[in-house]
Amino acid sequence: MIVVFLGPPGSGKGTQAKTLSKELGFVHISTGDMLRDAVAKGTELGKMAKEYMGRGELVPDQLIIALIEEAMPEGGRVILDGFPRTIAQAEALEDMLKRHGKEVNKVLFFDAPEELIVERLSGRLTCSSCGALYHRVYKPPKDDMVCDLCGGKLLQREDDREDVVRNRIRVYKEQTASLVDFYRRKNKLISLDAGKSVEEVYEELKRLLKDGG
Ligand code: ADP
Ligand code: AMP
């Protein structure tokens, strides 16, 4: 089963995908996490992606498609989080899956208004060690700026600064939002109200992902 999490930055895709992978055994593939890891390690990919990410722009399709070709597992239940983000990526994904007799089964669209995602991104804190997600208001850590899970230091992502956030939202509208119609036309789109609490969204997702799809 292959599930795509589609939605604007800050709509809660990573938060839900991390819990679903821990509790229900989904393989969580986040192109954003993979790219940040590549930047941190200073790999060739990281060097090529760094500038785009810092500006809140999309990394070129061919780099992302190569990354996904490598990361996609043979089987199992997979959540693609933050991929595809362009029609070209969605078409490449379709071709790649078709070669293995597979397809995207469901696309969960995290629907959230702009004010809400700006508020979520400006308060987001990320563990520099294990990648766990927090929010200054909605999910504060027990100890200030320390990860509850691993004791790592919490940081604000560089691209969660307000000017970059505005650019990421613009890029989402220009390059990614058309995927909503792309998947709706294929009868794969399921919209959910991403403005609800983390627990409510999680329950809804569990319900929607229960049947084999
Ligand atoms: P995305 O992966 O879509 O960019 P994240 O999962 O990183 O979004 O969530 C962005 C921020 O919003 C994080 O700080 C997270 O803790 C917080 N958050 C996620 N879901 C909710 C929710 N349902 N209610 C309140 N805050 C949330
Ligand atoms: P995210 O963690 O999903 O918010 O992604 C962070 C940044 O990584 C984005 O702003 C892009 O620069 C880059 N990125 C992540 N996924 C993709 C993708 N599928 N296509 C292009 N760029 C991506």
Q: Which of 5, 30, 33, 59 to mutate to test the pocket of ligand 2 (most atoms within 8 A of CB)?
A: 59
Ligand 1: residues within 6 Å at CB? 7, 9-15, 120, 123-124, 133-135, 138-139, 196-198, 201
With the CA atoms of 58, 187, 68 and 80 taken in that order, what torsion angle do they form, in degrees rounded to the nearest 10?
80
The pLDDT value given to residue 135: 97
CB 97 within 8 A of CB 2: yes
Amino acid 213: pLDDT = 44
Residue 81 CB neighbours (<10 A): 25
Query: What fold is seen in the domain 2-112+170-212?
Result: Rossmann fold (3.40.50)
Query: One digit per residue, pLDDT tens: the chain, 213 residues?
Result: 999 999 999 999 999 999 999 999 999 999 999 999 999 999 999 999 999 999 999 999 999 999 999 999 998 999 999 999 999 999 999 999 999 999 999 999 999 999 999 999 999 999 999 999 999 999 999 999 999 999 999 999 999 998 999 999 999 999 999 999 999 999 999 999 999 999 999 999 999 998 654
pTM for this predicted structure: 0.96
Q: What are the structural domain ranges in the chain?
A: 2-112+170-212, 114-160
Residue type at position 61: D
DSSP H stretches of helix in the chain: 13-24, 31-41, 44-55, 61-71, 87-99, 114-122, 162-171, 178-185, 198-209
Q: Is the distance from the beta carbon of residue 82 to the nearest atom of ligand 2 less than 6 Å?
A: yes
As annotated, the active-site residues are 13, 85, 124, 157, 168
pLDDT tens per residue across span 84-107? 999 999 999 999 999 999 999 999
Q: What is the pLDDT of residues 135-148, one digit of tens each?
A: 999 999 999 999 99
* DSSP assigned state of 148: T
The secondary structure of 186-201, three-state, reads CCCEEEEECCCCHHHH
Rounded to whole angstroms, the Cα distance separating 171 from 56 reads 8
Distance of CA 117 from the midpoint of ligand 2 (Å): 16
